[in-house]
Chains A and B, each alone.
Chain A
Amino acid sequence: MKHCWAALLAVCACATQPMSPSAGDVTESARWEEQARRLDQELRSLALAAHVDCKQVCSLAAAICDLADRICLAAARHPEAAELPASCRDAKERCQSGRQRVDRVCRCS
């Protein structure tokens, strides 16, 4: 048991040993991390896509953007209504955000 603890401590000590990597190491490491992050994202998207009803989510995203268009059209037609441009901006952002989230998992026509 004593040996096990000693080995574990030695491993931890090695793992926490301060190192001074070269600039090349740092770049390489950052590149691998970025790739790992991208692959992880892709994997999550694939896993999500397997459970998502693309027809439904595409239709919902389209409905959001259609409503954003209607809001912005009404805002353009009625410049006297001061609060409408803010509603238009908000709706556009929601449309864009919805589209981006859907694009990660589905290909909408």
Chain B
Amino acid sequence: MRRWLALALLCGCAASEPPASSWIMQASALSDRADDALNRRDLAFAQQELEQMLLLVEKTPDVAERRTLLEDTYYRLARVELLRGRPTDAVAAANEGLKMGRERDLFTANLLIARGGAYEALGQASAAVADYHDALLVNEGLLRQALGEP
């Protein structure tokens, strides 16, 4: 199935408790519908599905799992807001995601990139560049790690 189910299962496997399959399947179905809606450019429906996902994911008991799933959902929401021509709402969605905690991972990098894009749309070049640069540093750290560099 799609990337979100893989992500949820990965988080579930990493957590001490076995994943609650019902909510994962539910969230995954919402995620798929949001993707389909995005492909059809039905942005309002995509947003609706992603907001439903937020409600579901917020109940996840595992803190790390909740953070990554919420960050991914807020990132997608921010992209939808941007596509809908609402950069202020896109910044707000990215901020909500970043509130979950900034880590040196792709979830945080994606949120920074989405917020940077929204700042650019708002004409705030310095804020946009600051976010892009922070995202670049996160990716650089991940590259160092992947190359086995100290």
Contact A52 B136 (CB under 8 A): no
Which residues of chain A are near B120, meaning CB under 8 Å? Answer: 74
A-B contacts besides A77-B125, A78-B126, A81-B126, 8 pairs, CB < 8 Å: A57-B147, A60-B142, A64-B136, A67-B113, A87-B129, A90-B133, A98-B140, A105-B147
- A-side residues, CB < 8 A to B, are 48, 51-53, 56-57, 60-61, 63-64, 67-68, 70-71, 74-75, 77-78, 81, 83-84, 87, 90-91, 94, 98, 101-102, 105
Interface of A is mostly: helix
Give me 11 A-to-B residue pairs in the complex whose CB atoms sit less than 8 angstroms apart, sorted by A's number. Answer: A53-B146, A60-B139, A60-B146, A61-B143, A64-B136, A68-B136, A74-B129, A84-B129, A87-B129, A91-B136, A101-B149
B29 → A minimal CB distance (Å): 28
Any chain A CB within 8 A of the CB of B128?
A: yes
Which residues of chain B are near A64, meaning CB under 8 Å? Answer: 136, 139-140, 143
Contact A67 B125 (CB under 8 A): no
Contact B132 A74 (CB under 8 A): yes
Contact A101 B125 (CB under 8 A): no
B133 → A minimal CB distance (Å): 6
CB-contacts of B59-92 with A (<8 A): none
Contact B146 A52 (CB under 8 A): yes
Cα-based distance from A53 to B143 in the complex (angstroms): 10
Which residues of chain A are near B46, meaning CB under 8 Å? Answer: none
Least CB separation from A90: chain B residue: B133
